[in-house]
Structure 1
Amino acid sequence: MRTAPTILHLDMDAFYASAEQAAKPSLRGKPVVVGGLGPRGVVATASYEARRFGVHSAMPMAQARRLAPNAAYLVPRFSLYRAVSEQVMELLATLSPLVEPLSLDEAFVDLEAGGSADDSASAQAAGERLRADIRRVTGLTGSVGLAGSKMLAKIASEQAKPDGLLLIEPGTERELLGPLSVRTLPGVGPATGEHLRRAGMTTVADLAEAGEDELVRLVGKAHGTALHHMALGHDDRPVVAERDAKSVSVEDTFDVDLHDRVRVRGEVERLAERCVHRLRAAGRSGRTVVLKVRRFDFSTLTRSETLRGPTDDPAVVREAAARLLESVDTTGGVRLLGVGVSGLADYTQEDLFAQAAAGEHEGEAGAAGPGVAEASAAPQGRNEAAEPKPEPEPPAERRWLAGHDVRHARYGAGWVQGSGLGRVTVRFEEPWSQPGRVRTFAVDDPELTPAEPLPLLRPSSPEPGTPPRDGLPGQPGAGCGAKTPCQSS
């Protein structure tokens, strides 16, 4: 345990929902829920306005809609969240070389290792400077916890929410922890919490008073010893800069169970393509392909195949996942599919046999020659005019997901409010504009196209909240939060 609170934990406030509010002026100060919008969707993040109605993360979306029927329900835009996360992580890196990201919106920082702090005063100053920098660069807010250990720093940031900072002075750990619920401690989930409650232990002080021997008797040697140490405020885990991913995976839950075997295979191949895209984006390859299937009765099966060497070839991963699917009975219906790659490496071992087969195929095609190919395509003696030509298939209807960015040739940038019955409704506004007008179009309107997210702050503005140079009225202040309310209309 450190004698100075030089471990910092940052947790962005309602990150996905706050990013959406910052990007959409018409949603500022209003309840926003981000997650899957289908019948089986789950809440990823709810804004603080939505939390007042009882909506929280991991809640079924159908339940959230009952609690907050007038909230804005949006699908996630991970390209935006990743871009903002990278900005935040760059700010953390200026404080110390030891930054341990936990997710897009959460990280530990060892201030002592970076020379940013060596006592309470310097740690407090570093934390306040970080919060101000995050607001200036992203327009969002984050909560900061400072303590002598990772566990206490994380508890402090949670208590500082939203948009606050809490420093726990070394020596005061037990005083702070004592009245907190046992569920506050890492590793104490609903089952363990209920087990401890039945034994008469509901607070961290109860665990400390029970003693190590009693906790070992209740929950086992390893867990009981760890619980007792944490109840006393002891945690000597270091901040680890490199958290090497063990696998890359993607999965989808379907609104309606899939019964068509061809459709299931098509979904597996599509997931394999997405998985390889993530794999390549991380600059990695892998040698074990994993298939996950959750069936109609909620039974979950996993199958894996280990290749001869690491690969990032989409065809190899796609074919391996398809082979794994052959060993799974899907006749009753499938509600979830996932494809992953593990055994990650920083290099790729090329599949020489696949290359050779591809070369032979190309050689055979080349040997035939273009003249033969043309003759095969149009055999002599056939009356082409007499043969009916197949009707061209109509183009697939474009899907417009609520919250996603679009651009119209005449009206500019906007985002999808909703779609259905062949129509799509778009609100035209930008992060730095006033709340915009709503217009409705046909889903196949050629002037309406998908677009990339705009930055949350106007690039030309030196400070958040500065009026735009074109004199646009109603510019809301950046950094919306409990202590800095946003403008809304």
Structure 2
Amino acid sequence: MADNAHDILEWDGPAIGLLDLDAFFASVEQLDHPEWRGLPVIVGGSADHRGVVSTASYEARRYGVHSAMPSAQARRLCPQAIWTQGNFARYREMSSAVMDILLAETPLVEQVSIDEAFFDVTPGRFSRENPIEICRRVQTRVAALGVSCSIGLGVNKTVAKIASERDKPRGLTVVFPGTQASFLAPLPVGAMSGVGPATEKRLATMGIHTLGDLARASTSELRAALGVTGPRLVERAAGLETSHVTERAMPEEVKSVSNERTFDHDLTRGDEVRAAVLHIAAMTGRRLRRKGLEGSTVTLKLRYADLHVRTAQRQLPSPTNDEHVFGPVAVDLLRGLWHEGTPVRLVGVGISDFSDGRGQQMGLFDEVTEDSGSHHRDQASLAKLTDALRDRFGDDAVSYGRDLRFRDHTTGTAPMGKNDA
């Protein structure tokens, strides 16, 4: 709803933008492979090994393909598509370049995923320029990188998020101050983040179908039905949310680092499951070292063949990023989650509760001998050497037996953190 006539209007109040990169992974692939431009491209796991679509280009979406769709279904809908498992290092590089463009406009940039970020361009805070012009400049600079983005601009995060999804790709949807209630009112309640299928169904039983209905609802009734989140949803649906964009989190503010993989066949034997846990733990350890993080809580996640998920955690004596330390702990957690013969579809290992690793106090009964200390240092050195060789020569340059075991038996779909649009 931005046009030249609106540009003469002065922006009065907060100006929050949400930048969403269009079909990001697929767009980067088309950028790096010019011969793929204009063709349906799917980034995701193997259709023969329980893979899932991570991103589909707009050409593929015309056939009904979308994020989170099983790869086998996507192949049936669009058999001529070009498939790739993706280059996540390249995606991170491009994402960083886009975030730098936003940071050149305002220090208040809150990246919420690899392809999405809120930014605050409230007039008078860091610039007196019209926020619409800033958004247009951002889109032009992003396009110069070879990809495109859609931007929603409004007075708070809820409005900006919904607006960013209204006109894709390359859209700029502006909701001027004072118009947010009328913008939101006709939309279904499911258009607002935080309203999932269960909440949407519960609201429907109360006769609440649109955000306008929700904005007019009794806060006391919503509190009784949904708890403390009820009144908050009413406030957001009315466009009255007050948002604060926080600066991009530094590495030490990361809450957790994890890896998970879905296997192309269910794991049922103890040796298979234990090897899978150590395999995923090694991947998590490498990510931790890349980020310079050490954590003191290990989490094991299992998804069974019936799609039921269970997790278990354990506190470590001291922070670490060495899978030789936390991997065996993750394996030990299996005892409370899994029994021999139970089919396992997915394994995940995560580390949280980060520290800089300095000044750790030993436990009262911790025993450290010269041999054990030397063994730990040798393991840590081995992990770092393995990282260096893989960074230089590729992930397959050095492999343990457990890694070789699973090299060709995962779906090829890595967790994305969100379904990118």
Q: Same fold (TM over 0.5)?
A: yes
Shift of 1:343: 1.0
Corresponding residue number in structure 2 for 1:134: 142
Q: Secondary structure at the residue paired with 1:248?
A: strand
Q: Deviations over 1:217-264 (max 9, x none)?
A: 4x3342220121112101112111144321111111111011232222
Match for 2:247 among 241, 245, 255?
A: 241
Q: Is the contact between residue 263 and residue 409 of structure 2 (CA under 8 Å) also seen in structure 1?
A: no
Q: Give me the whole-angstrom Cα distance separating, in 1, the residues matched to 2:374 and 2:215.
A: 71
AA at the equivalent of 2:136 = E
Paired residue total: 366
Q: Is the contact between residue 22 and residue 148 of structure 2 (CA under 8 Å) also seen in structure 1?
A: yes
Corresponding residue number in structure 1 for 2:184: 177
Shift of 1:100: 0.5
Shift of 1:195: 2.1
Q: Deviations over 1:276-328 (max 9, x none)?
A: 11112222110011111222333323222211111122311222222223443
**Corresponding position: 1:6 with 2:15:** yes
Q: Secondary structure at the residue paired with 1:307?
A: strand
Aligned pairs for 1:461-476 within 5 A: none
**Corresponding position: 1:22 with 2:31:** yes
Q: Give me the whole-angstrom Cα distance separating, in 1, the residues matched to 2:123 and 2:257.
A: 30
Q: Give me the whole-angstrom Cα distance separating, in 2, the residues matched to 1:402 and 1:186.
A: 29
Corresponding residue number in structure 2 for 1:103: 113
**Corresponding position: 1:277 with 2:286:** yes
Q: Secondary structure at the residue paired with 1:159?
A: coil
Q: Give me the whole-angstrom Cα distance separating, in 1, the residues matched to 2:154 and 2:331.
A: 49
Q: Secondary structure at the residue paired with 1:344?
A: strand
Match for 1:154 among 161, 165, 179?
A: 161
Q: TM-score if structure 2 supplies the norm length?
A: 0.80
AA at the equivalent of 2:138 = L
Q: Is the contact between residue 51 and residue 411 of structure 2 (CA under 8 Å) also seen in structure 1?
A: no
Aligned pairs for 1:210-221 within 5 A: 210-217=217-224, 219-221=225-227
Q: TM-score if structure 1 supplies the norm length?
A: 0.69
Q: Give me the whole-angstrom Cα distance separating, in 2, the residues matched to 1:127 and 1:313.
A: 43
Q: Secondary structure at the residue paired with 1:131?
A: helix
Q: Deviations over 1:91-124 (max 9, x none)?
A: 1111111110001110011123895544xx6101
Q: Is the contact between residue 6 and residue 117 of structure 1 (CA under 8 Å) also seen in structure 2?
A: no
Match for 2:213 among 195, 206, 211?
A: 206
Label 1:3 to 1:214 Cα distance change in 2 as closer, same or farther (>3 A).
Answer: farther
Aligned pairs for 1:352-363 within 5 A: 356-358=370-372
**Corresponding position: 1:58 with 2:68:** yes
Q: Secondary structure at the residue paired with 1:329?
A: coil
Q: Give me the whole-angstrom Cα distance separating, in 2, the residues matched to 1:361 and 1:60.
A: 44
Tell me which protein shows more helix as a share of its residues.
Answer: 2
The higher radius of gyration belongs to: 1
Label 1:183 to 1:361 Cα distance change in 2 as closer, same or farther (>3 A).
Answer: closer
For structure 2, the residue ranges without an aligned partner over 5 or more in a row are 1-10, 377-400, 413-421
Q: Is the contact between residue 97 and residue 114 of structure 1 (CA under 8 Å) also seen in structure 2?
A: no
Which structure carries more relative contact order (alpha carbon 8 Å, separation 6+)?
A: 2
Match for 1:321 among 325, 330, 336?
A: 330
- Quick one: percent identity of the two aligned structures? 42
Aligned pairs for 1:377-388 within 5 A: none
Corresponding residue number in structure 2 for 1:293: 302
Corresponding residue number in structure 1 for 2:131: 123
Label 1:318 to 1:171 Cα distance change in 2 as closer, same or farther (>3 A).
Answer: same
Corresponding residue number in structure 1 for 2:238: 232
Q: Is the contact between residue 110 and residue 118 of structure 2 (CA under 8 Å) also seen in structure 1?
A: yes
Corresponding residue number in structure 1 for 2:170: 163
Label 1:334 to 1:57 Cα distance change in 2 as closer, same or farther (>3 A).
Answer: same
Label 1:309 to 1:361 Cα distance change in 2 as closer, same or farther (>3 A).
Answer: closer
Which deviates more from structure 2 when the two are superposed, residues 58-67 or residues 176-185? 58-67
Q: Secondary structure at the residue paired with 2:240?
A: coil
Q: Give me the whole-angstrom Cα distance separating, in 2, the residues matched to 1:134 and 1:238.
A: 24
Corresponding residue number in structure 2 for 1:332: 342
Aligned pairs for 1:438-449 within 5 A: none
**Corresponding position: 1:82 with 2:103:** no
Q: Give me the whole-angstrom Cα distance separating, in 2, the residues matched to 1:293 and 1:353.
A: 32
For structure 1, the residue ranges without an aligned partner over 5 or more in a row are 363-392, 404-489
Q: Secondary structure at the residue paired with 2:130?
A: helix
